Amino acid sequence: MSSHLPLIDSVAWRPLERSDAPLCTDLWNACFEADGGYRMVEEEWVQELADPDDDPSQDGVIAIHDDGSAVAVAFVQIPPATSLWRAAGWGAVRPDHRGRGIGSAVHSWREARATERLLEMPDDLAKFHWETLYDTQQEQVAFFVDRGYRPVRHWFEMTRELSKPIVAAALDPALALVAYEPTMAEATRQANNDSFRDHWGSQPVTEERWRRYYVGGDSFRADLSSVVMDGDDVVGLLLAGCFPHDFEDKGRTEVWADIIGTRRGYRNRGIASALIVDWMERVAAAGYQYAILGVDSASKTGALGLYERHGFQLDKSSTSYGKPVAGSDWSALEIA
């Protein structure tokens, strides 16, 4: 299939297929046990392999052992972009097959395929290879740094124990906080895109991706999500998500705030605080132990301080690493 892929006894390479979700899940979780990171369930891999913007048969490869298990996988994903292109995706090698050059080969294949796709883009936007890793994954970090990747942005996962008191927050009385309804899908997408226009690295979310990955994903908890309205307009939103397969590994139950956004013209009116407090109260009432969210550690919106004031504390940190493609300049990124 490619000069990048080595010949290995008892192992055959072939194009990745959408039906390979069970194999990818088993491989990924074997790597999780060895490397940390996060566990995945088959439904998540089904969703990744069904992404309409990528074709596994063209953008992925998988190595299958004679015993039927997956030894390695690579899959390039490039989401829609309006400011810069970032080629990310998946790469993994089963722990008991490492040390044979497979990881380097998989990475070379993935990077070469990503470069091909990036060079096909019909615009002059900057182009980068992209990888985000937990800061505890030092072996993987060293692997990418050795291949020319540089740290670009740092992220925090923050948790809040819900057995502790939750302090009320005042919302502008001209506004109303209401539960999310499925009929709000498009209005929340538009509010999200406006809310994050001035956030680092944010790209507008298309209607299809919004319905597939946000309000239509398996992890979405509509019952724990809410919006703030100004008349008939959505001006703030908090979309919740839950991953029960993480509970045993983490030793706790938790619900994520996947998105917390306020339209730019409505900031400083108590919207984010009201959404967070309402969400924590309902998550606690539903019997979960923790609230969890992610934040850009260098966000200029003051989000980090807001979350700290509501009792959130650092749980994990991660870093995004980039590598320019086709002469793209680092100046295209605001490195923090």
Confidence at residue 335, expressed as pLDDT on a 0 to 100 scale:
54
Residue 111 has which token pair? 């990077």
Cα(138)–Cα(117) distance, integer angstroms: 29
Q: Rounded to the nearest 10 degrees, how much is the dihedral formed by the CA atoms of 305, 246, 251, 134?
A: -50
What's the CA gap between 131 and 145, in Å, rounded? Answer: 11
Q: Do domains 11-124 and 157-317 have the same CATH topology?
A: yes
Architecture of domain 157-317: 3-Layer(aba) Sandwich (3.40)
Which of 161, 201, 155 is closest to 295 using CA atoms? Answer: 155
Whole-number Å distance between alpha carbons of 59 and 61? 7
Spatial distance between the Cα atoms of 186 and 214, rounded to a whole number of angstroms:
11
Residue 201: per-residue pLDDT: 85
Backbone angles phi, psi at 206, to 5 degrees: -70, 160
- Count of C-beta atoms within a 10 Å radius of residue 314: 14
- β-pairing, 84-93 vs 11-15, is unpaired
For 86, 267, 296, 332, the CA distances from 329, given in Å and listed in that order, are 13, 33, 22, 6
Query: Which of 68, 63, 67 minimizes the C-alpha distance to 6?
Result: 63
pLDDT value of position 336: 42
- CATH assignment of 11-124? 3.40.630.30
What pLDDT is attached to residue 225? 99
Q: What is the pLDDT along the chain (336 residues), one digit of tens a residue?
A: 555 688 888 999 999 999 999 999 999 999 999 999 999 999 999 999 999 889 999 999 999 999 999 999 999 999 999 889 999 999 999 999 999 999 999 999 999 999 999 999 989 999 999 999 999 999 999 999 999 999 999 999 999 999 999 999 999 999 999 999 999 999 999 999 999 998 888 899 999 999 999 999 999 999 999 999 999 999 999 999 999 999 999 999 999 999 999 999 999 999 999 999 999 999 999 999 999 999 999 988 899 999 999 999 999 999 999 999 988 999 888 754
Are the beta carbons of 235 and 191 closer than 8 angstroms?
yes
CB contact burial 172-209 (16+ within 10 A = b; e otherwise): eeebebeebeeebbebbbbbbbbbbeeebebbbbeeeb
Residue ranges per structural domain of the chain: 11-124, 157-317
What are the beta bridge partners of residue 157?
A: 294, 316
Give the pLDDT of residue 198: 87
Where helices occur in 245-302 by DSSP H, the ranges are 247-250, 271-285
